Structure 1
Amino acid sequence: MIEELIPAPASAAHTFLDSESAVQALFPEEAAVVARAVPKRRQEYAGVRMCARRAMNALGVPPVALVPGRRGAPRWPAGLVGSMTHCAGYRAAVVGHVRDYRGLGVDAEPNEPLGDGLLEYVSLPQERVRIRALAVFAPEVHWDRLLFSAKESVFKVWYPLTERELGFEDADIRIDPEAGTFTAHVLAVPAEGPDGEHLKVMEGRWLCRDGLVVTAVALRRTHPGDAVRY
């Protein structure tokens, strides 16, 4: 699924299954992070790292430990950018070279409505108006959940480049229900440096299938002379 949203040269991998072998394959420093976690949490953690290493292998990158840093963002090897996501019954990761991408963000959620009161918390008034219209257009998609997922994907691109928080109120998302795309207008103060302009407006893609909504943002490098940070 995820590979449909971020095509080559990025590499993606996903799984619908958990396995104890993925837990046993964790690097010692990874295993230490979830040593006290319940089995379900360990399997999620291990499964998504298994996907990440499969994606890295497709790029010719050897397996390494992927330990979470601040805000839980994985620490990728030098020269790579990537993103991981997991929800009930699905784990996925996407990885690319920094020469090709400034940032990558993916998120998967169950195609179910958000809990009571959560839409008001994660959305802007104008977004709620659009969500109501989309629900009439295609009621089989839970657009409130898709909106949440899109903001998560945007955050996963924003945070590694800025190391600054981005609140739900800081991104205005417009979803195109026919094209399977969305546009995020970031309302927060832009980042400084070469990434600032690129973070003001981000384009993403989405799909709804197999009981899931999945979103992705790929911030490509458009010019060979773009600054590359390792």
Structure 2
Amino acid sequence: MIDEVLPGRVACVESFGDVPGAVLLGEEAALVANAVDRRRAEFATGRHCARAALARLGFPPAPVLADERGAPVWPSGVVGSITHCAGYRAAAVSVDVLSVGIDAEPCRPLPDGVLEAISLPREREMLARLGDAQPWDRLLFSAKESVYKAWYPLARRLLGFEDALVDIDAGGTFSARLLVPGPRVGDVELRAFAGRWLAVGGLLVTGVTVS
């Protein structure tokens, strides 16, 4: 499922639920030492997916720790992203792109009041034009999550919901224009992101890569 919104040079592994016997390696357990059982299980499955994806690139099993903001710390030369929601966990890694971000969400509308907190007026106008074929507000949230996950490794700073203007195409793509200065990629300032989305089986998934 997640591989359908990412290019072939990104290795993806997903699980529709927690993997029985998924284990945490090394210091990973400390990251969820105070979490409830459900959170530990989804975290372990996310790390299981991450190691399986890394194995497809030839990397041996190793802990996938987290930085000060909770973002996964990958082996040198690897970029990647992990996501989880009810009934779904996935990881995507690559050595052939500059950054990747993925997100999964239940395919249902956001709770009342959330859309106003995560969107710009122009985005809400766009959602109204799209009609009711999908829970577009949830898709907007997911797209922004994927954009942030692709942004953060390059910029190493937060990106607020109000800092990128997302435009969704009903055909399965979206774009995000940065409203703040972007990170430099080589000699070029990154000003926009492009992604794909998919809705199937009660789930929404989004993916962004920076090449």
Q: TM-score, normalised by structure 2?
A: 0.96
Equivalent pairs, count: 211
Q: Does 1:189 align with 2:195?
A: no
1:208 corresponds in structure 2 to 199
Cα separation, 2, equivalents of 1:19 and 1:101:
28
After TM superposition, list the pairs within 5 Å mapping 1:12-161 onto structure 2: 12-22=12-22, 25-97=23-95, 100-134=96-130, 136=131, 139-161=132-154
Cα separation, 2, equivalents of 1:161 and 1:16:
30
Render the CA deviation track for 1:143-185: whole Å, top value 9, x for unaligned: 000000000000001111111110000010011102x100100
For the Cα contact (< 8 Å) 2:120–2:165, is it kept in 1? Answer: yes
1:192 positional shift: 4.1
1:117 positional shift: 1.1
- % identity of equivalent residues: 52
Render the CA deviation track for 1:71-126: whole Å, top value 9, x for unaligned: 210000001000000000000000000xx211000000001111111111111101
Cα separation, 2, equivalents of 1:90 and 1:148:
17
What 5-or-longer segments of structure 2 have no aligned partner? none
1:31 positional shift: 1.0
For the Cα contact (< 8 Å) 2:155–2:182, is it kept in 1? Answer: no
Letter in 2 for 1:159: Y
**Structure 1 runs, 4 residues or longer, greater than 4 Å off:** none
Question: Aligned to 1:21, what secondary structure does the other structure show?
Answer: coil
Letter in 2 for 1:39: D
Cα separation, 1, equivalents of 2:19 and 2:203:
21
For the Cα contact (< 8 Å) 2:82–2:91, is it kept in 1? Answer: yes
Question: Aligned to 1:71, what secondary structure does the other structure show?
Answer: coil
Question: Aligned to 1:70, what secondary structure does the other structure show?
Answer: coil
Alignment partner of 2:155 out of 150, 159, 162: 162
For the Cα contact (< 8 Å) 1:107–1:216, is it kept in 2? Answer: yes
For the Cα contact (< 8 Å) 2:80–2:92, is it kept in 1? Answer: yes
Cα separation, 1, equivalents of 2:140 and 2:191:
18
Render the CA deviation track for 1:41-85: whole Å, top value 9, x for unaligned: 001100111111111111111111011112210000001000000
Cα separation, 1, equivalents of 2:144 and 2:56:
28
Render the CA deviation track for 1:27-51: whole Å, top value 9, x for unaligned: 1300121122110000110011111
Cα separation, 2, equivalents of 1:59 and 1:49:
15
Q: Does 1:5 align with 2:8?
A: no
What 5-or-longer segments of structure 1 have no aligned partner? 221-230
For the Cα contact (< 8 Å) 1:87–1:109, is it kept in 2? Answer: yes
Over 3 Å counting, the alpha-carbon distance change for 1:181 and 1:52 in structure 2 is same
For the Cα contact (< 8 Å) 1:190–1:196, is it kept in 2? Answer: no
Cα separation, 1, equivalents of 2:114 and 2:101:
22
1:196 positional shift: 5.1
